[in-house]
Structure 1
Amino acid sequence: MKKGTLLNSEVSHLISRLGHTDEITISDAGLPVPDNVQRIDLALCHGVPDFIRTVQTIMTEMKVEAIVLAREFKEVSPEHHELLMNVIDSEEKRTGEAIDISYVSHEEFKQLTQSSKAIVRTGEFTAYANVIFKSGVVF
């Protein structure tokens, strides 16, 4: 049995296949998944698993060099946006490396997800709780 934090075999496999600058999206329950992008559906019911815990868990296994967020997330769901920023800040402090953060419109965000290797769908019901992670390198 896997000893690490991340137990989901599909997500673990996804992360193990990432190269530098590859992208994955972690989404709320409502983000549309393009037909050409793998869907890894973790959603069980309203709020399970939640967005923040999913982000934290994935970041234990994935080197993230940049993130993309919809501007609407910061405006419409400021409490969840702040929780995400706290997670990012903690990761930056832990690694000593900055993570680039950029904002786009929600419509542009949905277009950008077409380049993701996969979209990991959570049970989150918070509006615009979506993030694109760009993979870094560990050396």
Structure 2
Amino acid sequence: MKKSTLINAELSYLVATLGHTDEITICDAGLPIPQHVQRIDLALTHGVPSFLDTVKVILSESQIEAVLMATEFEKVSPKHHQALLAVLDQECLTTGKSIQIGYLSHEEFKQRTAQSRAVVRTGEYTPYANIIFQTGVVF
């Protein structure tokens, strides 16, 4: 049995096969997912698993160098946005590497998900709780 934090087989395989600058999206329960992009659906019920818990697990297993979010996230769900920024700040302290943070409109965000290797759907019901991770390298 796998010993590390991430035990979901699909997510574990995805993380293990990511290369530098590959992108993955972690989204709320409502984000549309492009047909051609792999869907990893974790949603069980309202709020389970949460967006932030899923983000933390992905961060525990992969090096991230940049993130993209919708500008609406900060405006519509400021508490959740601040909690996410705190998680990203902690990741920078833990790894000693910076994470570039970028924003685009929600419509542009939805279009950008088409470039993702996979979209991980959570049970999150907080509006605009979506993020695109761009992978970095550990060296």
User: Segments of 4+ in structure 1 off by > 3 A?
Assistant: none
Q: 1:110-135: CA deviations, max 9, x gaps?
A: 00000000000000000000000000
- CA RMSD, 1 decimal: 0.4
Matches of 1:92 and 1:59, distance apart in 2: 10
Gaps of 5+ in 2: none
Residue 16 (structure 2) aligns with? 16
The Cα shift of 1:97 comes to: 1.1
Residue 45 (structure 2) aligns with? 45
Aligned counterparts, 1:65-104, within 5 A: 65-104=65-104
Gaps of 5+ in 1: none
Query: What is the total number of aligned residue pairs between the two structures?
Result: 139
In structure 2, the residue corresponding to 1:85 is in which secondary structure?
A: helix
Are 1:114 and 2:114 matched, yes or no? yes
The Cα shift of 1:83 comes to: 0.6
| TM-score with structure 1 setting the length | 0.99
| TM-score with structure 2 setting the length | 0.99
In structure 2, the residue corresponding to 1:55 is in which secondary structure?
A: helix
In structure 2, the residue corresponding to 1:125 is in which secondary structure?
A: coil
The Cα shift of 1:138 comes to: 1.1
The Cα shift of 1:96 comes to: 1.3
